[in-house]
Amino acid sequence: MTMQEDQIEQPDEGVTPARVMSAPLPIVAIVGRPNVGKSTLFNRLVGKKTAIVHDEPGVTRDRHYSDVTSRGRRYTLVDTGGFDPESDDPMRQGIKRQIDVAISEADVIVCVLDASQPPTPADHAELDLLRRAGKPVIYCANKADSQRAEMELSDLYRLGAKDIIPFSALHGRRIDELEGAIVSALPPLPPEPQEGAEPDEAIRVAIVGRPNAGKSSLVNRLLGEDRLIVDSRPGTTRDAIDTRVTKGKHSFLFIDTAGIRRKAKVTKEESVVEAVSVLHAIRAMERAEVVVLLSDAFEGVAEQDAKILGLAVDRARAVVIGLNKADLLDKKAFAKAEENARDKLSFVPWAPIVPLSAKTGRGVGNLLSTITRVATAFRTRVGTGELNRFFEQVLEHRPPPTSGGRAPRLYYITQAETSPPLFVVMASAPEQLHFSYQRYVQNQLRKHFGFEGVPVRVKYKPRRRRGD
């Protein structure tokens, strides 16, 4: 491996880096009456088919969430069910309540109308609701598949909307214009921390999991007081609650969240509260550095636990798995529970598992130590010299495999970001580097520098030659 000092970005050695933590993403909610193409628009903006699309009105019953990047801005897009205030159908009434929730939580609302039909009483009721919401609203008309269709929007303007963007979600017509309007309506980015400003050194920890896993009991155990309501009935916690705890030299900000249930376990009456709980849990994860998935060791890790943890991994947060109620199991039974956890959560083999009992306090100290260790790794910046000495050893032990008759060359590595760590490798023909070798480098970084519980990101870029 050939390296020259002027080729390598040299961060200040020994300097505590500024943490690169993203602010919670703004929320953009898509609303409209049934069968106007909201889910098709959702899929178009997201770039993949994640919402169910069907000609039958009312197929989308629950809100769908997806993170979107457009024109350099990221936001969370929310798809909602069809707005039909005149219906007496209990399911429709439940959808109406969920739409109310989406509107109240949203930073920007995209109101989808139907360009192929005149306005309906539901459209009038919907626009009245949006005007009262006091939120930025982008009015758009789907199914405007031609310029002629655009010319026939006069009836929709009688609804009182000042500007309506005609588009076709199916064909992608004028989607760019709609995307631009959404990005322009987003709230401004929060200001960058001022140089020299003292950051809050408290480790931000979101505690997530299914209902009745013992999340509130754990926070109360850490506090030594019953600040949070603890009840054997699932779903007691409805909102995210911040609790600051100091143990020894370390300060923690714990964010307790409501339990996230499988949809099959949610009644129509509870659906609105559960929808809010999911959104609050997502926002809690975005505020956190470390996400603790608290699972019931006695009941075992379930598919829903994996889905919840997947939300944290998608947001590149450090993760710790806590197996609560371990006091109810003997040594053999707990070993089986831990094996089950590893099997169900196989996509995060690097996440530490901590047995504990919020009730008795057993293992809680170990959990705090693990959170501290993982958070330290999450914030760590490795010196460039040390990093490249390590990288030389990796290449000597296992060079990149040959692809297309020749092996890609890896020149040097730098760390571009912390929280979570992002490494950049300069290479020749990085597109030819096999994913298994990329995973090997990632695993070696984690093993050598102690990135336990941390999502290590590695990007490969082509090396620019001087004069390019």
Known binding residues are 32-39, 79-83, 142-145, 209-216, 256-260, 324-327
Phi-psi region of 245 (alpha: psi -120 to 50; beta: other; left: phi over 0): beta
Distance CA 288, CA 271 (A): 26
Residue 237 near residue 258 (C-beta atoms within 8 A): yes
Distance CA 382, CA 368 (A): 24
Nearest to 75 by CA among 25, 17, 1, 19: 25
**Tokens, residue 417:** 């970001």
Backbone angles phi, psi at 313, to 5 degrees: -65, -40
Residue 51 burial (CB count, 10 A): 20
Helix (H) / strand (E) element for 75: namely strand 73-79
Distance CA 176, CA 167 (A): 9
Side-chain-facing half-sphere of 169: CA atoms under 13 Å: 24
Distance CA 235, CA 323 (A): 19
Q: Is 159 helix (H, G, I), strand (E, B) or coil?
A: coil
Q: Is 404 exposed, middle or buried (0-12, 13-18, 19+ CB in 10 A)?
A: exposed
Task: Catalogue the E-assigned strands of 215-363.
Answer: 241-247, 250-256, 290-296, 318-324, 353-355
CB neighbour list of residue 174: distance below 8 Å, 6 or more residues apart: 144, 165, 166, 167, 168
Site of tokens 């199916």: 170
Q: Give the length of the chain.
A: 468
Residues belonging to the binding site for GTP are 32-39, 79-83, 142-145, 209-216, 256-260, 324-327
